[in-house]
Amino acid sequence: MKVIIVGAGEVGYNIADVLSREGHGVTMIDQDELKLQEIAEKLDVLTVHGSGSSPQVLRKAGLDGADMIIAVTNSDDTNMVACLLASSQSNVGYKVARIRNAELNGTSVIFDKNHLNIDLCINPEREAVKNALNLIEFPGATEIIDFVDGRIKLIGFSVGPDSQVIGKTLRELRLLYPRTKVLVTSIIRKEKILAPTGDTSMQGGDYVFAVSASDELREMLRIYGKSGEALKKVLIMGGGNTGFMLAEALEARGLSTKIIEKRSGRCEDLAAMLEKVTVLHGDGTNQELLQEENIQNTDCFIAVTDDEEANILGALLAKRLGAKKSIALINRVEYMPLVSTVGIDGVINPRHAAVSKILNYIRKGKIVSATPLHDERVEAYEVVALETADITDRPIKDVKFPPGTIVGAIIRREEIMIPDGDSVIRPEDHVIIFTLRSTIPKLEKMLTVKLDYFE
């Protein structure tokens, strides 16, 4: 597949990385020549210097033969024009645009076939808000990802120091708690990813990825020593787009919410737009302000400014001052492993969310949803099992998966099954599969290879 990516920022870079490694032909357009040089050094892609809204530049990038365009610059206008050019000047099959304007979303009329004709709009801020809401609902988790429309959740959390599971093997746990449908899919111990087996025993400080049905998540987190109460009082630091959307959503859920914003003008706007939320003017990293606002009784502090270092500092400070839980918005993957070690409870990563949504879209068809996890070395897939695929109609233990691959859940109509080695995947089942990024092409082949035969 030939893909043009407009915008070599964090989102563009990460998508280019994944796609080029999977063997697609990627061309990147950006106006920053230095950034392009750096990318040409690191990735096997073609780079074109220029504006993504220029027809000439797009043609030079091979618009005529392209199958997909992904416009992810910081400017909505550029992204929309790039997609418009892709459908008017050429016949590009798939168009993805990053649209930050909160007034527009995927269902807006201007994106439909008769107007801009954009197939997928992503809004990293909106994804981040979804993410944050999940974390607020399940305070024990560090990361939460929805599958099957939210009925199954994949959560990442570190095992509590006084959890009752420490020292027990996964097999014992299954016997101890037979009613909770949980599958531990990967354990990260000392920065290394382990693919757990029944004999793997839990240790304090392990970072665990597990799949569970939504209604049993609370119970599971309790077993693993993570408190399960929902939060009531939330303090948001940063009143930008993300902060505003988050406050609006929390307000709608009836949580007591405060929002701190530096710019006084923006504060006035927020106050006008929000009904019950308390808008505070000030710096979220100011200790006095936090104490004044009763930080020690706050259930959750969420820092969502544009400055990720400030977010980390704010979250740390709030935690020290007594906030029960602190969450920071972070864009750089390098910071992710740092965060849990310094004591921040949760991370929302808009870029990550945007990348996973785009990947998810690209792998559409047989794969419903794909999500990169932890340092992006692991990916979770939601796939629809095809009659012709190698994985169906035999016990899972007989399927020859690439190493490190685990089947996390099987969903058959309304029923959710957490599988063991004897479970059988039937055609039309939704299956959640975890795998290492390096084995993805192999796995994708397994899932679809026989299909070509009949088409």
Q: Binding of another protein at residue 23 (CB under 8 A)?
A: yes
Q: Binding of another protein at residue 46 (CB under 8 A)?
A: yes
**Which residues, in sequence order, are CB contacts of 14 under 8 Å at separation 6+?**
333, 351, 355, 376
Q: Binding of another protein at residue 362 (CB under 8 A)?
A: no
Q: Single out the residue of 11, 39, 45, 170 in contact with another protein (rule: CB under 8 A).
A: 45
Query: In angstroms, how far is the first alpha carbon of the chain from the final one?
Result: 18
Q: Single out the residue of 74, 227, 297, 438 in contact with another protein (rule: CB under 8 A).
A: 438
63 vs 246 by CB, closer to another protein: 63
Size of the site for another protein (CB under 8 A): 18
Stretch of 37-45, 101-109, 123-131, 326-334 lying at the interface with another protein (CB under 8 A): 37-45
Which residue from 7, 6, 4, 13 is spatially nearest to 331, judged by alpha carbons? 13
Q: Binding of another protein at residue 64 (CB under 8 A)?
A: no
Strands 68-71 and 2-6, how do they pair?
Answer: parallel
Q: Binding of another protein at residue 191 (CB under 8 A)?
A: no
Residues 77 and 396: their CA atoms lie apart, in Å, by: 48
Q: Binding of another protein at residue 226 (CB under 8 A)?
A: no
Q: Binding of another protein at residue 27 (CB under 8 A)?
A: yes
327 vs 440 by CB, closer to another protein: 440
Stretch of 44-52, 234-242, 255-263, 376-384 lying at the interface with another protein (CB under 8 A): 44-52
Restricting to residues 115-174, which ones interact with another protein according to CB under 8 A? none
Q: Binding of another protein at residue 39 (CB under 8 A)?
A: no
Residues 16 and 302: their CA atoms lie apart, in Å, by: 30
21 vs 35 by CB, closer to another protein: 21
Q: Single out the residue of 21, 151, 377, 450 in contact with another protein (rule: CB under 8 A).
A: 21
Residues that bind another protein (CB under 8 A): 2, 20-21, 23-27, 33, 40-41, 43-46, 62, 438-439
